[in-house]
Amino acid sequence: MANEDKVVTDPRGNHVLFTDRLCQLKDFEKDPESYDEFTMVIEKPAVMIEVTAPTATLYYYRSVGWNNFVLIAARRSNEQWEAIECSKNPSPALLSELLKKGTQVI
């Protein structure tokens, strides 16, 4: 992807503004396992968690390649969602904490 913003639609019909620079972390660069585009994490997540407090946040989790997992967080900004964080291989403790705080919708 060339540095650009995209509006991606998740399975629940939410429109999420995604900047591909968000996932251009050192860990992701030139990773031969990255077969899927990062937008697929939002479009077709394996797990989607909605946390309502203190701020409404959606978390999308999916494998990218064979050995890597990506967690993308999106927050409500005015009338649309905006992806704000991209994490490679988040810890099981983090995922467990999100599930405790929120609701798994997918």
Instruction: Give per-residue pLDDT as tens, 28-60.
Output: 665 555 545 789 999 999 999 999 988 999 999
Predicted local confidence at residue 51, as pLDDT:
97
Q: In what order do the strands lie in the sheet with 68-77?
A: 5-9, 15-19, 80-88, 68-77, 57-64, 47-51, 103-104
Instruction: Give per-residue pLDDT as tens, 92-104.
Output: 999 999 999 999 9
Q: What is the mean pLDDT of residues 68-87?
A: 92
Higher pLDDT, 53 or 75: 75
